[in-house]
Structure 1
Amino acid sequence: MHISPAVAGTDRSVSAAFVDSVLPDLLAHYRLQRATVLEQAGIDGAVFNDPGRLLPLLDVMRLFLVILEACGDPGLGFETGRRVRPRSYQVLGYVILASRDLDEAIERLMRFEKLSGNLGRTERHDEGDQVRLCWRCPVAGEPGRMLTEAAITGWVTFMRPLMPPGAAPAEVCFRHPPPADAARYRDWFQAPVRFNADFDGVRLPAALLRHSLESADPGLGRMMEKEAGALLADFDAHGNLLSRVRSAIYRRLGSGDPSVDAVAAELGLTVRTLQSRLQRQGLAYQEVLDGLRRSLAELYLRDPALNLTEIALLLGFAESSSFSRAFRRWRGESPVSWRRRLPRPDPSG
């Protein structure tokens, strides 16, 4: 799976709560050790201590790249979605659970989905006796396929216990080509699964949307909706700061000027305000800069067309020796030795 470094230039993110909720079962399924996977991905497990934290998409994709290289399962996104639980979505999940029916649940999903991460976008289209629910993924290629399968499978996993016994989508659709083991998908969804479709999402019988949810709780729903609204307002005003800072740094790395002064000015903040807001998240600016450089370095080192000098310049270092010293500090070995241990690239990826 090839991850474009340009992902670092976006403010896309995924909630730490979502990743942390699916990770234990997923790693157990593939017989992988959590500490080893996190270390290989360069992720500090402490980030999961704050469920409300948003993880930059680049870091999440690198984590799943490590898992994919270890398990070799092209259905990793599908298997991730199967392990979604209500707590995966935190407040969003509980406000959906308290909804009157599936119709209200979908409306709340669309209104508050940013709370589970600033990633894709859900759209609803009413088509006579069916409703088409689409998910717009902002990432292309194999990473987009994985994210899309995780999102759509997660929808069905989350809602299945709330629907009448035997109820299922009228159709599950993916725009990408079918995998070799498409039967695995049909067996689990218990519904027709169409690949090479013209949209990513599900078709639902319109009548199903009027079915009362067993977990419906109007009082709790109003309370959770109020909390979700407050969180969404805070997100729009101040949230996703880490991803926005990293995005600004990424755009300045090539010019060699990722200074805190330049980034603060681009974000319309004073240096003191930026540092204060980062500090409230337990971060320092240099830590954010080093983290982004490390993530990008490991992506660039996977590209055999780039030599160390070119990588150093892409990361905003004046010379390759500065990059090598930094990489030794991050990984405890030289970038050359780290690169030698990489799996051979998959020509199809």
Structure 2
Amino acid sequence: MEHPQVPPELRRALLARYGIDPAMISDPYRWIKLETPSLLIEQAAALIGDPCLGARIGMTYKAEQAGPFGALFSASSSLADVFAHFPKFAPLIQSHTQMRVEQRDGLCVLSYRIHDPAVPMRCQDTEMTTASAISFIRGFLSRNWSPLEVQFAHAGQGREAALRQIFRAPVHFGLSESRIIIAAADVTRANPLATPSLRPVVLRHLEDLLARESQPCSLGESLRETIRHLLGRGPVTLQDVARELGFSVRTLQRRLQDERLNFRLLLEEERRGIAETMLDNPGLPMKQIAARLGYSELSGFSRACRGWTGKSPRAMRQAAQPGL
């Protein structure tokens, strides 16, 4: 979140609020829970009054800041070579994210979609990711390069002209997913500065990192992930979770007992975590938050908040919005 328009004191305050060590930001091997930076950039944009902050920050990113994946740009002979590895290594850039590259009608379409129920559609995060991809490509091809078109699933909200100027390309909103449209000729253009000898080294390193990230989750992690997935679709029961995990209820109960895990406690911890994140966004209605957590009535949400913290949802929201 380095940007001249974000005052250092505001940056420090926001990072502290979400428990992020500033050293984590510059470490390409450290992971931050996806919904945390997503909400953080939304709040920063609102607090400084810049509705295009995400895109402006994204345009300052360089491939070398993306760690091992960024090194692939330097080692590859063309963008086609880089893009061939996008879908496979996307989890190393951002979790719960689908990146897809398609060639059609003389165009290359780079699409981006988040699949995380804990992260509602947030325009700042999506625009920052899109802008960083464009900035990476400019570093590879030319500072004067621009995509043919940029598309977003969210609404423009009166920011269309400003975003057109930032991306130097037509921008469209309200589509099925976010995309960058690139001329096929740009994708196949040779990179005279490529270092092909580094390519197998970088790919091997990426494969090793991917294998490490793909290790089976513990039962507790699997339960939390499943609970987050089911919340908002109705009551989350042990039967529902067992079915999602492919267990019988009896087997799941035995596993819980063996690992000294309490299903009800895990459910409430996930609900509370999501509630605190969503309450931190002053623009989200209480009814929407309650529904996201699986409460059919606000009264149920209110009772839960008082059980967690002794405070009402409104008081929790006020406590999460200290004067910055």
Normalised TM-score (structure 2): 0.70
Cα pair distance change 1:255/1:191, threshold 3 Å = closer
Alignment match of 2:37 (pick from 57, 60, 65):
60
Give me the whole-angstrom Cα distance separating, in 2, the residues matched to 1:230 and 1:244. Answer: 22
Aligned residue identity for 1:33: L
Aligned residue identity for 2:21: G
Equivalent in the alignment of 2:178? 200
The percentage of counterpart residues that share the same residue type is 18
Computed over aligned residues only, the root mean square deviation of the Cα atoms, in angstroms, reads 4.2
Q: Tell me which of the two structures has the higher relative contact order, counting C-alpha pairs closer than 8 angstroms and 6 or more residues apart.
A: 1
SS of corresponding position for 1:43: coil
Equivalent in the alignment of 2:114? 137
Cα offset, 1:118, TM superposition: 1.4
Cα pair distance change 1:133/1:65, threshold 3 Å = closer
Aligned residue identity for 1:96: F
SS of corresponding position for 1:160: helix
SS of corresponding position for 1:131: strand
Cα pair distance change 1:29/1:167, threshold 3 Å = same
Equivalent in the alignment of 2:73? 96
Normalised TM-score (structure 1): 0.66
Cα offset, 1:296, TM superposition: 2.4
Give me the whole-angstrom Cα distance separating, in 2, the residues matched to 1:224 and 1:274. Answer: 41
Is it true that 1:30 corresponds to 2:6 in the alignment?
Answer: yes
Give me the whole-angstrom Cα distance separating, in 2, the residues matched to 1:80 and 1:62. Answer: 15
Contact kept? 1:82, 1:157, Cα under 8 Å: yes
Equivalent in the alignment of 2:102? 125
Contact kept? 1:61, 1:143, Cα under 8 Å: no
Give me the whole-angstrom Cα distance separating, in 2, the residues matched to 1:92 and 1:105. Answer: 9
Equivalent in the alignment of 2:83? 106
* Alignment of structure 1 residues 196-345 onto 2, 5 Å: 196-197=174-175, 199-238=177-216, 244=222, 246-248=224-226, 250=228, 293-297=272-276, 299=278, 303-305=285-287, 310-311=300-301, 314=304, 320=306, 322-324=307-309, 337-340=315-318
Give me the whole-angstrom Cα distance separating, in 2, the residues matched to 1:240 and 1:90. Answer: 27
Say how many residue pairs are matched.
291
5+ residue gaps, structure 2, are 239-244, 246-250, 291-296
Is it true that 1:186 corresponds to 2:176 in the alignment?
Answer: no
Equivalent in the alignment of 2:242? none
Aligned residue identity for 1:81: G
Aligned residue identity for 2:24: F
Aligned residue identity for 1:116: I
* Alignment of structure 1 residues 1-16 onto 2, 5 Å: none
Give me the whole-angstrom Cα distance separating, in 2, the residues matched to 1:133 and 1:70. Answer: 31
SS of corresponding position for 1:97: helix
Cα offset, 1:104, TM superposition: 0.3
Contact kept? 2:86, 2:101, Cα under 8 Å: no
Give me the whole-angstrom Cα distance separating, in 1, the residues matched to 2:218 and 2:70. Answer: 19
Deviates more, 1:148-157 or 1:217-226: 148-157
Give me the whole-angstrom Cα distance separating, in 2, the residues matched to 1:304 and 1:266. Answer: 33
Give me the whole-angstrom Cα distance separating, in 1, the residues matched to 2:190 and 2:253. Answer: 45
SS of corresponding position for 1:203: strand
Cα offset, 1:249, TM superposition: 5.9
